[in-house]
Amino acid sequence: MSTNGKPKFAMYWAAACGGCEIAVLNIHEKILDVDANFEVVFWPVAMDAKYKDVEAMEDGSILLTLFNGAIRNDENEYMAKLMRQKSKILVAFGSCANEGCMPALANLYNINEIIDTAFTTPTTDNPQNIRPNTSYSVPEGELHIPTLFPAVRTLDQVVPVDYYMPGCPPESHQIAAVIDLVIQVLQGKAELPPAGSVIGAGGSTVCDDCPRTRNEKKIKKFERIQNIMIDPDLCILEQGVLCSGPATRSGCTALCPKAGSPCIGCYGPAEGAEDYGSRLMTAVASVIDSNDPAEIERIFEGIPDPVGQFYRFNLAGSLLRFSKSAWKG
Partner 1 sequence: MSDQFEPVIIGFTCNWCSYRAADMAGTARMKYAPNIRLIRLMCSGRLDPTFVLKAFAGGADGVMITGCHPGDCHYVEQNYKALRRFIILKKTLTQFGIEPGRLKLLWASAAEGAIFTDEVNKFVEQVRELGPLQWPTSGGGLERMFAVPEHMLVKEVTA
Residues of this chain that bind partner 1 (CB under 8 A): 44, 48-52, 55, 74-75, 77-78, 108, 134-135, 144, 146-147, 149-151, 153, 273-275, 277-279, 281-282, 284-286, 288, 290-291, 293, 296-297, 300, 303, 305-307, 310, 318-321, 323-325, 327-328
CB of 307 to partner 1, least distance (A): 4
50 vs 214 by CB, closer to partner 1: 50
- Whichever of 192 and 307 has its CB closer to partner 1, that residue is 307
Shortest Cβ 73–partner 1 spacing (Å)? 8
CA distance linking residue 229 with residue 239, whole number of Å: 9
Nearer to partner 1, 17 or 51 (CB): 51
Q: How far is the CB of 310 from partner 1 (least distance, A)?
A: 6
The full length of the chain comes to 329
**Smallest distance, partner 1 to C-beta of residue 268, A:** 15
* Shortest CB 124 distance to partner 1, Å: 25
Helices and strands in the chain, H and E counts: 13, 9
Closer to partner 1 by CB, 231 or 289: give it: 289
Strands 87-93 and 62-68: parallel
DSSP 8-state code for residue 93: E
What would the 3-class secondary structure string for 234-264 be?
Answer: ECCHHHCCCCCHHHEECCCCCHHHHCCCCCC
- Residue closer to partner 1 by CB (options 8, 212) is 8
The answer to whether 220 touches 290, Cβ cutoff 8 Å, is: yes
Measured in degrees and rounded to the nearest 5, phi and psi for residue 112 equal -60, -40
Residue 145 or 190: the one with the smaller Cβ distance to partner 1 is 145
**Smallest separation (angstroms) from partner 1 to the CB of 181:** 29
* Closest residue by Cα to residue 231 from 244, 215, 247: 215
Give the residues across from 136 on adjacent strands. Answer: 143
Task: Say if residues 164 and 198 touch (Cβ distance below 8 Å).
Answer: yes
